[in-house]
Structure 1
Amino acid sequence: MGFYEKHIFVCENSREPGKRISCGWSNTSKIREYLNLKIKELAPDKKIRVNKSGCMDRCEEGPVQVAYPDGVWVNLKSEKDVDDFVNSYILKNDLGAIDHLLVK
């Protein structure tokens, strides 16, 4: 196992308007901040790191986030999405309840 149990990357890339869509246009910095807050609140003993990232080239499916080491791609757009992700995947390692958030 690596240093972190899970390492989550949140795309915050922003392009100029008129070009390809960007995850950063969807308030992903606020999603990342809320994700960090919920993990610290609900899983303080777990070694989980949340980082912003640049483009992960899945822009049209965005906003996207990816969690390693599992390689789980998700589309978190709201605080409710983050709550569901943390409660199911972070706390229980269960993807079944968040199938609607998975990017396949």
Structure 2
Amino acid sequence: MNDDKPFYEHHVFFCTNVREDGSRPSCGKCGAFDAQQHAKQRIKQLGLNGPGKVRINKAGCMDRCEEGPVVVIYPQGTWYTYVDTTDIDEIIDRHILQGEVVERLKI
């Protein structure tokens, strides 16, 4: 049965691409792996993981290299950048838990 409802309430993708040639910035060289793991653990601690809830995934290049590191949250399609896990926690607390866009990190 297809009711057009997204499978996850929030599906979060962290660009973890590593660009070896240095032609463009690389999210994978800006702490993206650690940030993705931090988000995954935090969502699990909050009990938000599981079917229909929140899914945290790694992604390859999302072609926003110069704005990175980047994370995008669907189904809203909201793009963020971040510096550290404090920013990741703010995205989780405000966007995922409260439904509020974090304007200072939005790209």
Q: Same fold (TM over 0.5)?
A: yes
Tell me the number of residue pairs that the alignment of Structure 1 and Structure 2 aligns: 101
CA distance in 2 between partners of 1:51 and 1:70 (Å): 16
1:12 aligns with 2:11: no
CA distance in 2 between partners of 1:44 and 1:71 (Å): 19
Query: Over the residues paired in the alignment, what is the CA RMSD in angstroms?
Result: 1.4
1:65-85 deviations in whole A, cap 9, x for unaligned?
Answer: 100000000012211101111
Indicate the structure with greater helix content.
1
Structure 2 gap ranges (5+): none
What secondary structure is seen at the aligned counterpart in 2 of 1:51? strand
Instruction: Kindly report structure 1 stretches of 4+ aligned residues shifted beyond 4 Å.
Output: none
Q: CA deviation at 1:41?
A: 1.6
1:35-77 deviations in whole A, cap 9, x for unaligned?
Answer: 1111112243671111100000000000001000000000122
What secondary structure is seen at the aligned counterpart in 2 of 1:81? helix
Structure 1 gap ranges (5+): none
Same amino acid, percent of matched pairs: 42
Q: Kindly name which structure, 1 or 2, has the bigger radius of gyration based on alpha carbons.
A: 2
